[in-house]
Amino acid sequence: MALPNTRRELAQHLEEVMSHAYAQLEERQRLDADTSLVKTYLIEAHRLRAADHDRTLQTIRATFGSEVLGRQTRIRQTEDDRFFNIQSGREEETVLHVDASNPRFWLIHSTSRSTEVDPLIQKLVNNTSEFDHVWLPIQLLSRIAAFGSLRGLGLDYDRRSVPDVDFEADNAPMQFLKMQLWGNRARDVLHILRQPGAFADATTLSKVKVKYFLDRNQNDNAFCIADMKYDGKVTGRGTSYQSYIALVTNLYRDYIRRIEDYERRFTVKFESVQDRVSIDGEPLNIRFTHPLPNLEAFCDRVFSGSNPFRLMGLPIATGPHSFRVNAVDLHVGKRMSFELSPEFMRVYLAPGGCGNSLARLYTNLQHHYNSQVEAVDGSEQFAFSEQNAAV
């Protein structure tokens, strides 16, 4: 396959892949392999927020080089600024199309197999401090579902990652809950699971499948069906790449606005004007639905520096039931501070810190601690708005 040399050529290529796959699916009711699906990974590159083409290329060479993708990696510049093709492997080639139009929030497209691309993206995020996934908490995934019509959803909760409880005890929380629900009744099942007395604490939305028309009034044959995962991976099929990319960029723009907003609101700064000193900003307040049974064990896990939290810090006891932690976020290499009690956690971003770190923490608490954990600002307004939620 000739590599696309412009974004326009990439769009044509992905349109062909999508429509071919959908025609095949309609005809045979199955796909040959997931190579016919378009995959898009939403990746945040915090330190590159002001990067130009050369700086972006330099970072790609340093991070996508042999350490991540192996010796066979070839990085190709294109005619378009900040648009690159990356090839990896000798026989069955994996190709990534990197669109860094927004120098901080990248789109990485691929039609290669997920089994090849997913580990590469994972390595890219884990092995460097340049990149992070986009993290979509339940409320944001629900909102995305409202962009189109919901066709299915996935649940993914695993409490075993934060082992601060005895799972053998009578009142122990659920250990894990994973489920895929396809079809129009998925929402009804979710509603039942969220009922009091059911599994409200463990019903963590991890994926939504959405059918989206670019403009149904003009053409009701031009649509996409996209699976959108909580870690920013989107998989698309359908008849229209334009529908697909419109849906993906709608999601991304919404996310970017929020992340920039978090950085403004949740970074504490001292301001001084004519001898008048004031404090701007506030922490993000996280509230635990049930008091943490073992705060020390919880801190040891969350601040161990490991995935998925990627925070390295030392919990210091400030009282019989409280800790503070000055940690380093291993994604951006910046300090973050925390104050914890069994009922709450206050999270402070240092100046220049990354709003994506807040989204990562909150989303992973939903997946690994309790799906009903709350994130609020000082006005007790939900920090991750639920407006227009469809699920």
Partner 1 sequence: MPPSNLNLALMNLFVGMCKGLTGLPRHFRNLQYVDKWIELRFANADQEQVAPELIVSSRRLNHTILFEWKAGPNFEADQLRRYSRVTQDDLRERAGLAVEETGSHDIAVIGLQEHAERLTMGIAQGPYAFPLLLVTDNGLAIHQNRFRPNETDAVFRPLLAIDWGKLPNYFFPVDVASELWEFAECVIPKVLELMGKGEARILPGDLEETILCWKVLSRDYQGRLRTKLCDTLDRACQKQFEPYIRRNRDRGAGERLGRHWDIINNPIAGSSDKRQKEWKKLGSLYKQFVEFLRTGRNVPEQQELNLRGDA
Dihedral sign of CA atoms 142, 148, 150, 155 in order: negative
Give 49 or 321: the residue with its C-beta nearer to partner 1.
321
Q: Tell me: does residue 305 bind partner 1 (CB under 8 A).
A: yes
Question: What is d(CA 187, CA 182) in angstroms, rounded to the nearest whole number?
Answer: 9
Determine the Cα–Cα distance for residues 359 and 133; give it in Å rounded to an integer: 10
Tell me if 161 contacts partner 1 by CB under 8 A: no
Using CB under 8 A as the binding rule, the residues of this chain from 309 to 328 that contact partner 1 are 312-314, 316, 318-322, 324, 326-328
Which of 129, 219, 249, 250 touches partner 1 (CB under 8 A)?
A: 129
- Which of 87, 30, 92 shows the shortest CA–CA distance to 64? 87
| The one among 269, 382, 386, 388 contacting partner 1 by CB under 8 A | 269
Alpha helices by DSSP H, listed for the chain, are 7-28, 53-63, 66-69, 114-127, 138-145, 186-193, 241-265, 295-302, 355-368
Q: In the Cβ-directed half-sphere of 150, how many Cα atoms lie within 13 Å?
A: 23
The residue count for binding partner 1 (CB under 8 A) is 52
Q: Taking CB under 8 A as the rule, does residue 127 contact partner 1?
A: yes
Half-sphere exposure of 233 (CA within 13 A, CB side): 17
Per-residue x/- mask for partner 1, residues 211 to 250, rule CB under 8 A?
----------------------------------------
119 binds partner 1 (CB under 8 A): no
Q: Does 337 bind partner 1 (CB under 8 A)?
A: yes
Segment contacting partner 1 by CB under 8 A, of 9-17, 94-102, 242-250, 331-339: 331-339
Q: What token pair was written down for 91? A: 């026989």
Q: 202 or 332, CB closer to partner 1?
A: 332
Give the separation between CA 292 and CA 344, rounded to whole angstroms. Answer: 9
From 11-19, 50-58, 152-160, 376-384, give the range in contact with partner 1 by CB under 8 A: 376-384
> How far apart are alpha carbons 371 and 369 in whole angstroms?
7
Compute the CA torsion angle 122, 127, 129, 131 (nearest 10 deg). -20
Number of residues that this document lists for the chain: 391
Separation CA 299–CA 65 (nearest Å)? 35
Measured from the CB atom, is 217 or 381 closer to partner 1? 381
Task: Please report whether residue 183 would count as binding partner 1 according to CB under 8 A.
Answer: no
User: By the criterion CB under 8 A, which residues form the site for partner 1?
Assistant: 67, 126-129, 268-270, 272, 275-279, 282-283, 285-287, 304-306, 312-314, 316, 318-322, 324, 326-328, 330, 333-335, 337, 339, 341, 343-344, 346, 348, 351, 376-380
